Amino acid sequence: MNKGLLVVVSGPSAVGKNTVLSQFLVRYPNSRYSISATTRKPRPGEIPGKNYYFYSREQFQSLLEQNQFLEWAKVYDEYYGTPLAPILEGLESGQVIVMDLDVQGALQVKRRLPEAVLVFLLPPSIAALKARLIKRGTESAQDMDKRLEACQEEIASARSYDYLVVNCEVSRAVDQLICIVEAEKLRLSRQAYLIDILTEGGTIGN
Amino acid sequence: MNKGLLVVVSGPSAVGKNTVLSQFLVRYPNSRYSISATTRKPRPGEIPGKNYYFYSREQFQSLLEQNQFLEWAKVYDEYYGTPLAPILEGLESGQVIVMDLDVQGALQVKRRLPEAVLVFLLPPSIAALKARLIKRGTESAQDMDKRLEACQEEIASARSYDYLVVNCEVSRAVDQLICIVEAEKLRLSRQAYLIDILTEGGTIGN
């Protein structure tokens, strides 16, 4: 078992995932976002190895054949995925790595790395979610019903997750995410080596 | 699944369990100690229903036959145990109930109520534990080795627990215990009803 922790966070559009995750990353030491790989072209300002790893189609497919992706998907003829090696290296070195994924991606991760912790961010109500979507103004009135229906379906998939966090208030949701990470790090499966240290007469560092 | 949480804390003598637990109870809202029942006579100052439930031998055995104890043990011809009914009532009403039990008792609880959370409090080292035992002065020099051997055995049993907390610094250990309780309350198994509330168009309270 690695010393780090892989945390996958999902939630419907406009639930406030980005805000919660960016505040978590500021507050939690030695934490970082996972970096995805994609075959699409870099957009202006995007830095390779920071925003994305930009792969050729051949590179991507070759890694795919070697089973070197933690999760992947094809969207509008472009590939997106999370290369496994940098994640394993980060976990090995004790990092807390955060992934923002949809339900399909999250379940792929859990199958590949069962020790990954799956957190689903819920809105306080569907009405609150609708209000946030309207405020964001990215949906036409016509698309709104379809979008909300998709959100409802996504929320129903939260039953496959490990933890549910309700985003009533951002700072409280961040506190809860921090507690989940802290508690997961204290689980026996990640700390059993402490018992060995003690029974062999050693001292546990702070 | 109940709204409350049953937390069983174990650890070797002098690890600082009482200090950690009493600070936890002060800091964590709606939390309380579990109250044990015993057949021994009340000592001066002990209040029935607060320190202990004082039962006659017949009362205790009758409840035992009805399988109404969460855990129990016979020590020096007296019975000690935790009556199940007040625990279930407390959990139903949302309380966080803390039990301070030895390894045998903790494992009895887990068998009976698998949703109970088992936390083992570790010392930073066996040397630190020995220093605390000497400071406490309850062990003769002769008994010390036997006591430390028992502590080592107890620590090895920590492998049956859910979480390990190292008591290097009391306030940090209390913080960690609080995070464990917070995170456990956020687990899907205890929160799945939130998904029903949302998909039925309801609002989740703060």
Residue B206: band (very low, low, confident or very high) from pLDDT cuts 50, 70, 90: low
Listed in sequence order, the residues at least 6 apart from A142 whose beta carbon sits closer than 8 Å to its beta carbon are none
Are residues A179 and B183, on separate chains, in Cβ contact within 8 Å? yes
Evaluate if residue B2 carries a pLDDT over 60: no
Profile chain A (206 residues) by mean pLDDT over runs of 10 residues.
Answer: 87 93 97 95 90 94 96 94 96 96 96 97 94 83 85 94 97 98 96 93 85
Domains of chain A with CATH codes? 5-34+95-199 (3.40.50.300)
* Cβ separation B183–A188 shorter than 8 A: no
pLDDT of residue A140: 78
Taking residues B159-167, what's their average pLDDT? 97
Which chain A residues are Cβ-neighbours of B158 within 8 angstroms?
188, 195
Q: Give B-chain residues touching A206 at CB under 8 angstroms.
A: 124, 168-169
- The answer to whether A187 faces chain B, any CB pair under 8 Å, is yes
A176·B191 Cβ contact <8 A: no
Nearest-angstrom CA–CA distance, A191 and A185: 7
Chain A / chain B CB contacts < 8 angstroms: 124
Of A125, A156, A180, nearest to B195 by CB-CB distance is A156
Sequence-distant (≥ 6) Cβ neighbours of residue B186 within 8 angstroms: A163, A164, A165, A176, A179, A180
pLDDT digits (tens, 9 = 90+) for B169-199: 999 999 999 999 999 999 999 999 999 999 9
> pLDDT tens, B22-78?
999 999 999 999 999 999 999 999 988 888 999 999 999 999 999 999 999 999 999
Q: Which residues of chain A lie closer than 8 angstroms to B166, CB-CB? A: 194, 204
Contact A194 B156 (CB under 8 A): no
| ipTM of the prediction | 0.92
DSSP state of B66: T
The reported pLDDT for the residue numbered A144 is 86
Q: Pick the closest to residue A150 from A104, A92, A192 (CA basis).
A: A104
